[in-house]
Structure 1
Amino acid sequence: MLAPQEMTDLFGQEFGDDLRLWAECLARRHPCRHGDVWTTKGWSAPGAADSAERLASLDRMGVARQLVFPPVTCPALLAAGSDAYAGLRRYNDFALAWADGSGGRLRPVAQLPTSEVGETLAEATRVVRRGARAVEVAFSHPPAARSPADPEWDRLWALLSEAHVPVLLHVGGGGPGGAVRPPRTLLDRGWGDSPRLRPLTGTTDPALAVIGNSGLFGPFDVATLHIGAEVFLSALVLGGVLSRHPGLVVGVVEFGAQWASSWVERMDVIARSFFRYGRDPLPELPSVTVRGQVRLTPFYGEPVGDYVGRGGPAEMYAFSTDFPHSEGGTDPVGGFAASLAPQGRAVIEQFFVTNGSALVPA
């Protein structure tokens, strides 16, 4: 068994001080028991808004350190202009202050604007100096109309690599299917515009308390959520960004994990054929690079043990709770542990502890 407070959690969320009174009111009306940390979700979950309560919840979960994402910053991530930049700066200052007393256990993911290279670099420099341990970027379109592998972005990747600050891609951060439905520049929403492909809304069925219950996601959306992240990652890997910046680690959060194995195989095939394009080969195969520098989180209920058993990159898969959102499920530890059991204790420890430590080191 894993030791208490040993696991790493690559995906938690916080609601913020502006919603604290609402959360406290709900908690009084619907009090939760001490052991309800896995079953009480949403605004009334213990630690949904208060950082001290969040630490107590992590203790009960057995989680040592947690990345904490905002529920929604998508409009500002996608927007350009002084107001959008100011909004992100204010959020970043609030989030970092929220976690100041956690002793490094709560790690807010600072939000970076990507419409202009200069603005991105300026905010990245500022939040790293302020103590940020992770940053998030949008990826539904090329940042500043450039590939993320463009040399113009190397200053950002160098800064993050040298500071050991990972970069995160999150479904609510501007990608396809984002939490506030941005334009899907990579995949027109018309592809999923069919009665059979739209989500059922207005139901109280607890079985639907998973991704899709918000009315924002249908089956087609979930099946294609990963595409934007895969495109962004492909540019980073094939463009040599991760090879040039070996300290840079990328987290891919809330897109599922089934797609990763075939993606890694495809990157290796393409890398072996660089000579066809008149390009020097990469220093190492992508399958080697991503095992050290890319981490992704499976959805609750995914058979991640089967993925590993079929040769999937065991080093890439990492645990997350999505706490306090309902998508994280009521027994993620038990479910993932059961799926991984046939792969042995070493793989289980990789999934719950070691792999995530690349993004949330002690």
Structure 2
Amino acid sequence: MLKKISSLLAAGTVALTVGVEANGESHAVDMTGKTVEWTIPFSETGGSAKWANFFAPLLSEALPGEPTVVVKFMPGAGSTKGANWFQTQEDGYGTILFGTSGSTQFPYLLGDPRVRYEYRDWTPVMATGTGGVAYLNKEDGAKFDGSANALKDTRFIYGAQGATSLDLVPLLAWEMLGMNVEPVFGIKGRGDGRLMFERGEANIDYQTSSGYLGGSLDMVEAGDAVPMMSWGALDEDGNIVRDPTFPDMPTFKEVCEATDGCETSGPAWDAWKAFFVAGFPSQKIAFLPAGISQAVVDTYVAAFEAVRSRPDFAEISAKRVGKYPMFVGAGAVKAAKEATTISPDAKDFVVKWLSDAYGVELK
């Protein structure tokens, strides 16, 4: 697996070299009258859906010929169903786009037996970072004082996609805090977890920033949910700092430091931070399938660059998906490498933890 991952950057860099003809000219692809199907391997209620639905009309305007961009959903098996499907697709016309999330990256990193896809076969053209927010119902939220000390005797229920999905990050964080959180596995997207929380079937939840802004924030403003913490963001030196979208909210690191028995050093912390880095700062990535022409790649890179360069982009994106960087072209290649690379020590710790905590055997 590590050998495969190590070749991702080289393969992606080659794929994203600007395509030129012998005379040095680059040619865009005319997509007039075409329909681009952007497949998301989750349900239509989650953060990935909100991310793709935000970018789809902007991409349509920016692509030559303004093709229709339709977001489709293919949930199942913690997003591996959709990723396995995408692995088999061949498209020479630029009409197939695929969006992944940390819940697609993590099974790949861990060697999940359901994974039959290979990231190095795909071409990343755009990526964005995101954050995440954990929140409580109002009864338990009233006990939260910046630490988890008063929450350790509470039995929490959490709607989860799967232990090897992006839910790994909150589940490990809550365990490090000494909280008793029982996941109910099998939901098809984080939006379904939010619906469980809204119906009272769960009393703790987490959403990526877009899902929180688009759905959970209304519950917070109504007093039905209480924010606990964000996962944070990374500064230029790799330190965890407050999320720029939620600057008034403590990070998991701050809550851990305030909670008895929680350590921000050692194997558990190193593993949590490694998967946080792989799952959030470069979390959502748009890919073209294997065998795509360089002309199509160049067309998509130019279109996403045009989206990023819109004078109103910073304002509208902050409201819908949060204040996070957008990576295009070579930047998307680098982001994809970061999101699909993990140290052997972090992988070994999490593989053992998954086995001990949830009986998940990755063989």
TM-score (norm 2): 0.31
TM-score (norm 1): 0.31
- Higher RCO structure (Cα 8 Å, ≥6 apart): 2
Structure with the largest fraction of strand? 2
